[in-house]
Amino acid sequence: MVSGPMAQKLARLIASRGLASRREAETWIKAGRVEVNGEIDTNVATVVDDTDRVRVDDRPLPPAPPLVYMLLYKPRGYITTRNDPNGRRTVFELLDDYRGPRVEPVGRLDFDTEGVLLLTNDGDLAHKLTHPSSHVPKRYLAKIWRVPNDQTLTRIRKGIHLDDGKTGPCKVRVAEATDSGNCWLEVTVTEGRNRLVRRMLETVNHPVSKLRRESFATLSIRGLERGEMRSLTRDELIRIRELAAGKDPGRAGKSHKYKKGHARPKPKKTRMGSRRSKKPGGRK
């Protein structure tokens, strides 16, 4: 095992071939299912390159599949892992009509949260987009109890003290008031902590009854219905790659322009959900 020009961790290589997620691949390695150069290797820190012979369950690795980037409008009532011991539905049940390479979610959405979910087999991009140092923007619409005052909004913007530390600065505004005296709040965060938006608003006494992620890394669910999935456009892919490389979200993708006379391609959608209202609070 040599650190050559294509050196990478063993689990990462297995995941890149579409056999499993990195976490699953690490489990396989520990279980003794992986051979490197004819010997069982149970070390998840092992680094291999293109000169090493890797086998899983005594079978050679398949060739690397083409990279795929899909955007799914995750409905409420689904989890973002492949299997659930409690028998809950997973987002992979929505991919029955998908016939491409194995994909994994980039980040997660709670069971009770709906909205945009990026699915890909590009492990490097997924890692960069979810790394805390990337500060990738995630914009939510939250239906909350009562309308917060200006003092509360300022407190949220500056950061809320939670049990796992103070939240970073974020953007927040009242998007729409309801007839019952509650409201839809738009919140944009750059952290990926578990149930972050719900915990922030619970702490300031405005519990969330509905939560929808409107955009992730500038990718929007606009034009999609619940359960629908589509491939990323060329513009979107350029934008998230630049964002993952550290470019400011407001400038990512702006350097790329289509030549005059060339039409922008329209993304192909896979329809699996039912139609809903496009109004901010209209998706029931």
Average pLDDT, the chain: 88
Whether residues 55 and 89 share a domain: the answer is no
Please, what is the Cα angle at 146 between 144 and 152, to 5 degrees? 85
* DSSP helix/strand/coil, 208: strand
* Residue that wins the pLDDT comparison between 5 and 249: 249
Helices (H) and strands (E) in the chain, counts: 6, 18
Residue 76 lies in a domain: yes
Whether residues 211 and 103 share a domain: the answer is no
Phi, psi of 126 (to 5 degrees): -60, -45
Compute the average pLDDT of residues 183-191. Answer: 96
pLDDT (tens digit per residue) in 94-131: 998 888 899 999 988 999 999 999 999 998 899 899 98
Residue 1 lies in a domain: no
Judging by beta carbons within 10 Å of its beta carbon (0-12, 13-18, 19+), is residue 119 exposed, middle or buried?
buried
122 is catalytic: no
Residue 173 lies in a domain: yes
Question: Comparing 122-131, 139-148, 248-257, which segment has the lowest mean pLDDT?
Answer: 248-257
Whether residues 127 and 191 share a domain: the answer is no
Nearest Cα neighbor of 51 from 117, 1, 122, 110 is: 1
Residue 232 lies in a domain: yes
pLDDT (tens digit per residue) in 46-100: 999 989 999 999 999 999 899 999 999 999 999 998 888 899 999 999 998 888 8
To 10 degrees, the CA torsion angle through 103, 106, 112, 114?
Answer: -90
CATH number for the domain that contains residue 203: 3.30.70.1560
* Residue 132: pLDDT band with limits 50, 70, 90: confident
- What is the number of domains present in the chain? 3
pLDDT over 80 (residue 263): no
Whether residues 100 and 228 share a domain: the answer is yes
Nearest Cα neighbor of 226 from 272, 269, 184, 266 is: 272
CATH number for the domain that contains residue 55: 3.10.290.10
Whether residues 124 and 227 share a domain: the answer is yes
Residue 82 lies in a domain: yes
Judging by beta carbons within 10 Å of its beta carbon (0-12, 13-18, 19+), is residue 44 exposed, middle or buried?
middle
Q: Say if residues 120 and 219 touch (Cβ distance below 8 Å).
A: no
pLDDT (tens digit per residue) in 5-46: 578 999 999 988 989 888 899 999 999 999 999 999 999 999
Residue 280 lies in a domain: no
Residue 122 lies in a domain: yes
Q: Which residues of 129-151 are buried (b: 16+ CB within 10 A; e: fewer)?
A: bbeeebebbbbbbbbbbebbeee
Whether residues 146 and 128 share a domain: the answer is no
Whether residues 115 and 239 share a domain: the answer is yes
Residue 106 lies in a domain: yes
User: Which pLDDT value is given to residue 256?
Assistant: 61
**Among the three residues 21, 37, 60, which one is the final residue of a domain in this structure?**
60
Whether residues 126 and 244 share a domain: the answer is yes
User: Which pLDDT value is given to residue 273?
Assistant: 42
Compute the average pLDDT of residues 151-176. Answer: 96
Nearest Cα neighbor of 11 from 82, 81, 61 is: 61
Whether residues 37 and 74 share a domain: the answer is no
Question: Comparing 120-134, 150-164, 233-247, 262-276, which segment has the lowest mean pLDDT?
Answer: 262-276
Q: Which domain holds residue 175?
A: 137-216
Whether residues 56 and 73 share a domain: the answer is no
Of 41, 110, 124, 235, the active-site residue reads: 110
* Residue 269: pLDDT band with limits 50, 70, 90: low
Whether residues 39 and 80 share a domain: the answer is no
User: Which pLDDT value is given to residue 211?
Assistant: 98
Whether residues 98 and 234 share a domain: the answer is yes
Please, what is the Cα angle at 76 between 70 and 79, to 5 degrees? 65
User: Which residue type does 80 have?
Assistant: T
Q: Say if residues 229 and 72 touch (Cβ distance below 8 Å).
A: yes
